[in-house]
A and B are shown apart, each in its own frame.
Chain A
């Protein structure tokens, strides 16, 4: 990398080009907006995490002694709402995606920079509404808003929470819209679809879900709010409505929303594995299309959340079989990542440790999904801690692991500084161990029959041992999440300046300076190479690529 050796100390970049609050709040630079998102979602992550910690502390003992049941109900509701709508859904797309999508395809910015800023403001407005809702009493419906509890029975701030999520939803829609248009229209000359990094494919698939799924939850929340304030009967059986219709509409979005969280994470992990195995990804096109397949199939499976809700058993059969269809492309991805390591030259830097952690936890989360999609087993384990454990393996073990891995991987590019490698490896290890200690016992609890959303289990003392283990794990996990925040902050001031390409990674984002300039590239790049050309990077010339089998 001859072009990256010159390193003047104060080169102009997107961070030091302008100073002052206004230069941030009115910026249209996708990288600055990404940082605005980074700060805001980190804030919400720690709020959601605080709720989680209180939940775990309450469950340390069977009796409801730390908080009252109604407080507990608000805690898990707001934990869910904050983590899902204000952390996980924006996490990778709005931070890493915002920062990297234009750079990876060789564009100067997203197609609609002002809409990008608008979507951050929508997120903030939604976030402030959510905070206001939480500070003035909170909401206790569960993040699922099931009717008729939410529309006719709960006496908490349902309307406020619904509107907050409605507004934040538009932020997500606009981000997705921006990505799709950018990926279609803004690719640099030579950047064909088959040369796109798989991170881009993953974000493209994610955007499809954001664009087509989010409006449905938006209108559903409008109906809930209207029903609650005007006493309509659309979901209320007392007035002739059907509460299951709400569940259909809710899960039509909220199941695909899981893929909004996990697909970008898969994209991140793909980049990391390719880099630290120094290899082209095994089966590039299969990995790319499996992202699209997951996004599309993800829309066909929603009612597997409703197998015991009173839906028709024939519909249940259809949704069960379709749920297995979505498992195939997920399995394909795991196999391809594993195969990529074959005959690689593997480095164990911190991002790679996160990627390994991701594969392990995602595999377990995915396989337990097979249990839940099996109709007969779902009857027993749905609405128990088995489900809690399963989706935390996917969303925390998967999505969050990927997010942290990506943050480490691109931190030198984002901040222009290196983080302390030793601490980072330690944090990865702590997160992995803490995570398993927290959530593995919950699989057992779930099969034993402990229902979710129970503030008090004093009549079931047999559940306590596993709950204690889980709470112990949660504290470890908490430390694991605090560490990266501390050393990232530390590195911004004391970290060593990062070279342009510290990992010698492939991809356009590594060919510009660290941190990049405002328009990303000094000159518009022309792409003449395939994605993941690690052979050229490591040897300076193209190797013969083998096709096995």
Chain B
């Protein structure tokens, strides 16, 4: 199983590298970040064993950390995104 995850990660890297050279207008960033997130999830779930974790606490730690990271990014963006509204 570790090897198939590894293969998937390499494949993801290859795709993201190749796709970057195709013009998708504003979807380039979306595709790149989606692939990155899938890769990060694969590493976290299988290599870091969150999937098989025997308790929910570790998942809670991960989710709440991501929540606060999200807060930092989104609320500060909320300022920059609306500054020029009139």
Hey, which bits of chain A sit against chain B, CB under 8 A? Answer: 184, 208, 212, 216, 244-245, 248-249, 252, 299-300, 302-303, 311-312, 314-315, 318-319
Contacts and interface: CB of A to CB of B under 8 A. Distances in A.
B79 A184 contact: no
A245 B79 CA distance: 10
Given A315-B78, A318-B75, A318-B78, A212 B85 contact: no
A176 B68 CA distance: 16
B68 A212 contact: yes
Nearest to B84: A312
Contacts of A318: 75, 78
A252 B71 CA distance: 10
B78 A212 contact: no
A318 B75 CA distance: 9
Nearest to B61: A180
A319 B75 CA distance: 9
B22 interface: no
Contacts of A252: 72, 76
A311 B79 contact: yes
A294 to B, nearest CB: 15
B4 interface: no
B79 A299 contact: no
B76 A248 contact: yes
A303 B57 contact: no
A244 to B, nearest CB: 8
B65 A212 contact: yes
B29 to A, nearest CB: 20
17 contacts: A212-B68, A244-B79, A245-B76, A248-B79, A249-B76, A252-B72, A299-B68, A303-B75, A303-B79, A311-B79, A312-B78, A312-B83, A314-B82, A314-B85, A315-B78, A315-B79, A315-B83
A216 B72 CA distance: 9
A36 B69 CA distance: 34
A249 B76 CA distance: 9
A184 B57 contact: yes
Contact of B85 (A302, A303, A312): A312
A163 to B, nearest CB: 23
A299 B67 CA distance: 11
Contacts of B72: 216, 252
Contacts of A303: 75, 79
Nearest to B65: A212
B57, B75, B83: residue with the most chain A Cβ atoms closer than 10 Å: B75
Nearest to B86: A313
Q: Which 4 A-B pairs have the closest CB atoms?
A: A315-B79, A312-B82, A314-B82, A312-B83
A303 B80 CA distance: 12
B57, B76, B80, B81: residue with the most chain A Cβ atoms closer than 10 Å: B76
B61 to A, nearest CB: 9
